Amino acid sequence: MIEVKDLVKKYGNHLAVDHLSFTVEKGQILGFLGPNGAGKSTTMNMLTGYISATEGNVIIDGHDIFDEPEEAKKSIGYLPEIPPLYPDMTVREYLKFVADIKNVKKNEQEKMIEDIMKLIQIKDVSERLIKHLSKGYKQRVGLAQAIMGYPEVIILDEPTVGLDPKQIIEIRDLIKTLSKKHTVILSSHILSEISAVCDIVMIINKGKLVVTDTPENLSNHMEGANGLFLTVKGNKDTVYDVISSIPKVTKIHYEDSEEANTVSLTVYSKEHEDIREAVFYALSEAKCPIYDMHSTKMSLENIFLELTGKNDKGGLKNASDL
């Protein structure tokens, strides 16, 4: 459905997007993540044909966005961060205007507008001026214009910015509903939103692709992403020495302990290495009873910070430095 090949965008000597390649299959929701300045907005603008590329191709439903812009753009619905609304129009007038721009057949417009308003849940404000709507309703109207004409691909840039928690949940549910008939690309800074909504997550940094995978599998791309949390009775130095002597341990992160004479820590190991038995026997031999031991998984937020090189590893030590 969407194929991006060696996409490059240069502004003078600044390389905003650096040979980016990825594909999105029909019906998928792709979450697009990256720190400020990573090249997300630039990439989104090239995907929609709003700006040209220095090099590379963007294929939308078999059409190159740069060589066949009119055909490719027929397959795209776009909601930028600030919805392109006309505040002095009513919701219905605006959607009729959008339908005309998108060349929706006259005999299909009324039914399509009614169906979209019902889907997006804005029918109750259809005769109100857009300037009098709440932020949440304006966002919904923006989403309605994006799916007008039922394009194959819907691209959403920060669709929940400025919304309250209830509105965020409602927009998330709408996005999930849209994926039943559309392919969706979602750019967001809200990591919980990406995790809750997206099938695939793509992280870019400094214009380059860092990793693409499901939210559940992202941690598999990192050494020591999965940890073992322990609460141990004993002296901190003793526990430190025992754990650091285990060959497969790569990192140790100390936590605040709620009990006196105990040490709480998370121990990280190499990918797919199970260190539970080794930890149990080592601490048992040192006469340091284990009060709690369970596996942990790094949060999407920490994975993002690690993969983009922005994590402050306070309290986190490499085992080689112990």
pLDDT digits (tens, 9 = 90+) for 168-223: 888 888 888 888 889 999 988 777 778 888 999 998 988 999 888 887 777 666 55
| Euclidean distance between CA atoms 120 and 177, whole angstroms | 10
Hey, where are the domains in the chain?
2-219, 222-321
Contact 250, 238 (CB under 8 A): no
Q: Pick the more confident residue, 302 or 181.
A: 181
Does the domain at 222-321 match CATH 3.40.50.2300? Answer given as no
Q: Pick the more confident residue, 178 or 133.
A: 133
Q: Is 62 exposed, middle or buried (0-12, 13-18, 19+ CB in 10 A)?
A: exposed
Contact 143, 155 (CB under 8 A): no
Return the exposure string of 11-33: e unless at least 16 CB atoms fall within 10 Å of the residue's CB, then b.
eeeebbbbebebebeeebbbbbb
Q: What per-residue confidence (pLDDT) applies to 23? A: 92
Q: Mean pLDDT across the stretch 287-313?
A: 75
What pTM value is reported for the model?
A: 0.74
Q: Mean pLDDT across the stretch 13-41?
A: 90
CATH class of 2-219: alpha beta
| Euclidean distance between CA atoms 244 and 230, whole angstroms | 14
Q: What per-residue confidence (pLDDT) applies to 271? A: 63
pLDDT band at 18 (very low <50, low <70, confident <90, very high): very high
- Tell me the pLDDT tens digit for each residue of 221-258: 655 556 889 999 999 999 999 999 998 888 888 887 77
User: Is pLDDT above 90 for 107?
Assistant: yes
